[in-house]
Structure 1
Amino acid sequence: MDKNLENWTDQAIAFATTYGLKVIAAILIWIVGSWIIKKIIKGARNLMDKSGYEESLKKFLLNLLSAILKILLVITLLGTLGVPTTQFAAIIAAAGLAIGLALQGSLGNFAGGILIMIFKPIKIGDFIEAQGVSGTVKEIEIFTTKLNTTDNKEVIIPNGALSNGNIINYSTEDTRRVDFTFGVGYDSDIKKTKEVIYGVVSAHPLVLKDPAIAINVSELASSSINFFTRAWVKKEDYWAVKFDVIEQTKEALDAAGIDIPYPHQVEIQKKG
């Protein structure tokens, strides 16, 4: 009995000597590794704050970085304890591949969201045109971007399509050019027509003086002489000027006796 006890004691000591040191080493690695991870996350957060990252992107990237570092720490701990990590790493890689194939479309939208948030072709509050719709950017998320249309409808665009397509951003510049085309009859005096149009456009209080207003004959159409008119305005005044000038020019041309051609339908009466 004493011999069995002695053997058991020897085995316990050998086990404690072999694995106790590994357990202690693993505990130390966990403490030091957790401290290092916190420092890395803190440094990454400060760097993102200085770079002006979007809050949603910053939070996602920090969580992703934290998860990756913790997985690496766990694998290191398992290796320290003598657990084979090759198969464990292979299982993680296979699971990652399977998830990637299953979520291929979502990953494309995710990558698009990352690109949009990093390069910032658009931001919240911008009025844009993309994927056949136009509206004000309401929210930029990891997978989708939300727009509010001018008639207050919400449009959700996948970030993959948005980042790979053309984006027209009307809010980037402070000014916009308003283009008009006015057609008058062939009997109209070109010089007088230009004067009437210029008088209306230049008198509008929201039209900028610089760049200068441009009025040119753009086309001799089948039934009209077309005048292409350009004026510059602040971006927020675009639609107000557009609607005002069209209405006021029609009234001014009528008052000046300048004909605006339009299709006529002539009714032919049959003789009985």
Structure 2
Amino acid sequence: MQKLDGLLSNYIDTIIKFLPEVVTSLFILAVGMFAIKFLKKLANKLFLEKRIDPTFASFLIDILIWGLRILLFVIIASKLGIQTSSFVAIVGAMTLAIGLSLQGSLSNFAGGVLIILFKPFRIGDTIEAQGEIGKVLGIHIFSTQIQTSQNNVVYLPNGILSNGKIKNLSQNNLRKLEINLQTTLLKNTSEFIDKLQASLEQNNLILTQPAPHIYIKDLLDTKITYTVHAWVESSDSTTVTSYILYEAKKISDAL
């Protein structure tokens, strides 16, 4: 019983001894998290005032925040009595283990760096990649966030994205539409082409230079395939595509 009382007394003494360090560590944690949040807002404001590229600014802020969090963790660990040399050894071992188990994440990090450096797209651009088409909302350390036309948010891993094919639909203001139309074999093919050509030339969204053109792409026993080439503003591509399909159907039915 005396031995139990002695052990209990030692535990209580140990708790009392370390209680100030624990309270101080919790205080440092609260102040540190508040400071990191404040520095993030300050960095955002400074980058905005300096007109730094939003993509690059977002990437730098992510690295800064994670660096500050790691530093805060080191400070708290040191305050709790963990030796720095032991901590460095533990962190080194953990880094090696994490690096081996998270090779894909490291690849995504490297891909994010490449995207930032070479800028195949920027925030606000509309891209087509990995079978998805959408507006770029953000470029983060490990992934790129896009919003599709269905209002879905898709996260594309930077590693796969940087090594794959990326089609930037916003990089050029003008876009050349190539639309294939298939109809039954008409008796008067030239009349169909002339009427559709006139309809294209009347549409104010279709550029007159270069002028729109209609070509016969394929001719079968019962069907004929046309290709329509038309230059438009990138933002009008969907509207003009719908217009051309509708006009082709209407003209074909009238012949």
The number of residues matched between the two structures is 197
- The TM-score with structure 1 as length reference comes to 0.62
d(CA) in 2 for partners of 1:51, 1:65: 21
Contact 1:135 1:147 in 2 (8 A): yes
| Distance in 2 (alpha carbons) for counterparts of 1:50 and 1:124 | 14
* Residue 127 of structure 2 corresponds to residue 125 of structure 1: no
Q: Distance in 2 between matches of 1:228 and 1:195?
A: 14
Match of 1:163 in 2: 162
Q: Percent identity?
A: 36
In the TM superposition, residue 241 of structure 1 has moved relative to its aligned partner by: 0.6
Q: Does the 8 A contact of 1:128 with 1:167 survive in 2?
A: yes
Deviations 1:216-260 (A, max 9, x none): 1111124112221111100000011111121122223333x2xxx
Deviations 1:38-63 (A, max 9, x none): xxxxxxx99xx797461122234557
2:112–2:140 CA contact under 8 A, matched in 1: yes
Matched residue, 1:102: 101
User: What does the per-residue CA deviation read over 1:187-218, in whole Å, with 9 as the maximum and x for residues that have no partner?
Assistant: 52232222011011111110001112121111
Trace 1:40-59 onto structure 2 (pairs within 5 A): 52=53, 54-59=56-61
Give CA-to-partner distance per residue, 1:155-179, whole Å, 9 cap, x none: 1111111111111111111111122
Indicate the RMSD between aligned Cα atoms, in angstroms.
Answer: 3.2
C-alpha contact (below 8 Å) 1:200/1:252 kept by paired residues: no
Q: Deviations over 1:56-78 (max 9, x none)?
A: 2223455788999xxxxxxxxxx
Q: Relative to structure 1, is the Cα distance of residues 192 and 111 closer, same or farther in structure 2, using a 3 angstrom cutoff? A: same
C-alpha separation between the residues in 1 aligned to 2:90 and 2:133?
45
- Secondary structure of the corresponding residue to residue 156 of structure 2: strand
Q: Distance in 2 between matches of 1:105 and 1:185?
A: 51
Q: Deviations over 1:11-56 (max 9, x none)?
A: xxxxxxxxxxxxxxxxxxxxxxxxxxxxxxxxxx99xx79746112
| Code of the aligned partner of 1:156 | Y
The 1-side partners of 2:236 and 2:253 are apart by 26
Tell me the distance in 2 between the aligned counterparts of 1:141 and 1:101: 22
Who is 2:210 aligned against?
211
The ranges of structure 1 where at least 4 consecutive aligned residues each deviate by more than 6 angstroms after the TM superposition are 63-68, 87-92
Residue 183 of structure 1 deviates from its aligned partner by 3.1
Q: Which moved more, 1:241-250 or 1:88-97?
A: 88-97
Does structure 1 retain, via aligned residues, the 8 Å contact 2:123–2:136? yes
Give distance in 1, aligned partners of 2:101 and 2:183: 61
Alignment check: 8 A CA contact 2:59 2:139 kept: no
Q: Aligned with 1:152: secondary structure?
A: coil
Structure 1: 5+ residue stretches without partners: 1-44, 69-84, 258-272
Alpha-carbon deviation of 1:89? 7.9
Larger radius of gyration: 1
Maintained 8 Å contact 1:126/1:137: yes
Would the alpha carbon gap of residues 136 and 51 (structure 1) be closer, same or farther in structure 2, given more than 3 Å must change? closer
Give the deviation of 1:94 after TM superposition.
4.6
Q: Is the 8 A contact 1:183 1:227 kept in 2?
A: yes
Task: Give me the whole-angstrom Cα distance separating, in 2, the residues matched to 1:167 and 1:147.
Answer: 13
Contact 2:136 2:144 survives alignment (8 Å): yes
TM-score under structure 2 length normalisation = 0.66
